[in-house]
Amino acid sequence: MSWVIDTHRRYLRDATRVGAFERAIREVVRPGDVVVDLASGTGIFGMMACRAGARRVYAIEIGPLAHLAREIAAANGLSDRITVIRGAAAHVSTPEPADVIVCDQLGWLGIEAGLRALFVDARRRFLKPDARLIPARLDLILVPVEVPILFRRVQFWGASPAGFDFAPARRIAGNSGYPVRLPAACPLGTPHVAHSIDLATAGLDLIRIDTRLTCSRDGVVHGIGGWFDAQLSPSVHMTNSPLAADRINRRQVYFPIQEAVPVHAGDVVGLAMRLLPEEGQIIWEVTVARAWADTRTFRQSTFEGMLIDPADLRMTDPDRRPSLTPRGVARLSVLTLCDGRRTLRDIEAGVYARHQDLFRSPAEAAEFVAEVVTRYSTDE
């Protein structure tokens, strides 16, 4: 079984998620509408839009799942109303502007899977000025959490596994945001709507969060937990909150701090976050102010949590004079031979003839050519 198909099985099996989108689509889509289904996957939302009366759906999917979506649309008698477009949303276009866009490119905090960038681009190129969006708004929810099991996972790297010093890995582990299943009992206070995003107007600017979170019980702060609440339509909300009985089957996110800090009810946890989710950059500064003990402050960043080889950074030096590797030269050969006149068989033979030092057989050269042409060539 393809793992991609099984991933979408889990999406479709999530009755809370599917039901929320179906209600929202029924509420937002009007008879005769044109709908864009971004990152459409199997095409379930586009078919729901047809059921709600859409005249035409443009389902945009980047990978080979697009072909399966066409087959599914045909199996449901919707080939005449659903047009599946294969490609990255930023690199394709639609034949006409749309009345509605629907997309579930939501991460654990709601923003890290690229939804803002998709909607900013779609508003400019795909949609009518008064188009309706599903979802329409995102609320980012944050709260200090007590999660000893998760905290120990981060601390593991400082415990000298097998008697060796793994401290360099601890820095990376402590500066990462973790997709997790947060226990319902983990919040140390009332979850706080730290930031709201109106997707009809949102840009790609830096998200700034500065808030104070009050602990409502005694416990130990191990970091910050986060999730989202999405307003799909005027009357339909969807959340992955661990506190919600009707939450969707999606993980939340945990931002650790370097040390566990005991707190009492009434203590204040200050939180400053700066997020550029499209770049994968999040900074979080946590200050635990306690009336009965010293104040502790921790500052962490996903930039510090990136696994970076300095050699890779040197490759991006503006003053560097790069040259192609042998496989880079072979890739250039493929692109050069794709001139609109040669057949794929001709290109495979040409690449093998030019680069026999790289490929053990014509079949191996053909595999290399296929990887290049499927990404960069067109039949148009």
| Inside any domain, residue 124 | no
CATH number at residue 95: 3.40.50.150
Confidence of residue 314 (pLDDT cuts 50, 70, 90): confident
Residues 302, 338 within the same domain: no
| Inside any domain, residue 126 | no
Residues 72, 13 within the same domain: yes
| Inside any domain, residue 319 | no
What are the phi and psi torsion angles at 49 (to 5°)?
-65, -40
Residues 162, 217 within the same domain: yes
Residues 243, 291 within the same domain: yes
pLDDT tens, 93-146? 999 999 999 999 999 999 999 999 999 999 999 999 999 999 999 999 999 999
> What residues have CB less than 8 Å from 281, skipping those under 6 apart?
274, 275, 301, 302, 303
| Inside any domain, residue 86 | yes
Residues 80, 147 within the same domain: no
Residues 155, 41 within the same domain: no
Helix (H, G, I), strand (E, B) or coil at 367: helix
Residues 303, 366 within the same domain: no
Residues 162, 253 within the same domain: yes
Least confident of 205-214, 323-332, 358-367, 370-379: 370-379
- Whether 77 shows a pLDDT value over 90: the answer reads yes
Residues 217, 336 within the same domain: no
CA distance 241 to 236: 15
The verdict on pTM exceeding 0.85 is yes
CA distance 82 to 35: 9
Task: Find the radius of gyration of the CA atoms of the chain.
Answer: 25
Domain stops at, among 286, 310, 334: 310
- What's at 148, amino acid-wise? P
Structure tokens that stand for 267 in this block: 């203590």
Q: What's the confidence (pLDDT) of residue 380?
A: 60
CA distance 45 to 59: 9
Residues 234, 272 within the same domain: yes
Q: Beta strand 56-61 with 34-38: parallel, antiparallel or unpaired?
A: parallel
Residues 187, 253 within the same domain: yes
Domain extent for 356: 326-376
Residues 89, 206 within the same domain: no
- Whether 1 shows a pLDDT value over 60: the answer reads no
Total domain count, the chain? 3
DSSP secondary structure code for residue 205 in this structure: P
